Amino acid sequence: MKSLSEIETISKRASRAVGFSWGISEEVGRNMKLLELFSLKGIKHLNEYFKQRSNEKFENLNLISENNKSSKLPYCPIILGVSFLDQIKTLEKFNKIKFYNIAFPLLFLPFLSRSSEIIGKKINFKFDDKEFVLNHNVNILSNLPMDDCPITAQNSEIIFIANEDNFTNQEWKNLYKLSENTFVDETDSLKKGAAGAGLTDND
């Protein structure tokens, strides 16, 4: 089994070898480590992407807007990811961001995951009928089998998920009520003697 350290180093060097700058290659190394740690097929997709790059062209999107439509070529997932990561503080102001035609969307995921950590919000990434939730760079949830990520995302959108509860008020109240059964009713004597601060701390 390859260690994560080997995965990071080799991915970084390979990225440099296909023409990315050292700084971007460092990002790719970090990302491959993340994908493989989460059992996603990062190395496989990076390999296939680099193979395609030797024969085909991809569009570099350096400045992201709400609606991003590539001219003819699919977006390079690495340059797109770096731009997304770098511009995340601006992008978070949009409700929804759309991209048309991203190559190897799996390689774009770790950038979204890291962006989610930076802004402290979950990110929802959908394309076609596929869906991912990037959860503060702690994990990546998906409705796809782990080895089944397509190599293009035709119509994709990104939504920043507001920090809200994931349950109803009633569900919370029910649990809270149960939790109260671990509390002790305070008698007068307990009120006087059991609290460290005493009764005169507001004098």
Partner 1 sequence: MQVQLRDPNKIMKLSRLGSFHQSKLSFLRSFLEEFKEWNFKRDLFDLDKEGYGTVIYSLKKNERTYSLICFANRINNKERSDRVIATKWDAAFTLHDGIPTKHDIERLRGEVPLQEVGRLSYKELTLSRANRSVRVFDHVVKSLSNGNQPDLSILDKVGYLYRTTAVYGSGKFGLADRFRIKNREEINGPFRLEMMLVYLVRQFTFDQVNHIAKCIDPNKSVSLDTDICKNLGIGNSTGLGMAPFIVNHPTLLNNWIYTREIALKKIREIKNVKSEDYNLFIKCVRNSIKNITSWNTESEYQLKKIKSLLSNIKKFLEFADNNFNSKIEYTFNKIYLWLEKETCEETIEYIVSIMMEPYDNIVKPLTKQMSSEEEKYFNIPTNRTVEELRNIIEERYPDILKINFKEKKNYQNFWFISKNKEEPRYADRFNENGSELEQPLAIARDIKELHDELITCKDSLTIDKFLAKNSDLRHVIRRAFIIEKFPYSEIQDNTIGKNVVPIDMLRLKLSFFGALKFDPRSDKWLRICMFQGAPLPHNLKNYNSQWVYNP
- Shortest distance, CB of residue 5 to partner 1, whole angstroms? 3
- Shortest distance, CB of residue 47 to partner 1, whole angstroms? 19
Nearer to partner 1, 68 or 83 (CB): 83
Buried residues in 170-193 as b, exposed as e (16+ CB within 10 A) = eeeeeeeeeeeeeeeeeeeeeeee
6 binds partner 1 (CB under 8 A): yes
Q: Which of 26, 48, 59, 157 binds partner 1 (CB under 8 A)?
A: 26
96-103 β-sheet, strand order: 67-69, 96-103, 152-161, 122-127, 130-135, 139-142
30 binds partner 1 (CB under 8 A): yes
Nearer to partner 1, 48 or 86 (CB): 86
24 binds partner 1 (CB under 8 A): yes
- In a 10 Å sphere around its CB, with 0-12 CB exposed, 13-18 middle and 19+ buried, how is residue 1 labelled? exposed
Tokens of 69: 């439509």
Interface stretch with partner 1, choices 40-48, 84-92, 156-164, 167-175 (CB under 8 A): 84-92
The DSSP secondary-structure symbol of 195 reads: -
Nearer to partner 1, 4 or 190 (CB): 4
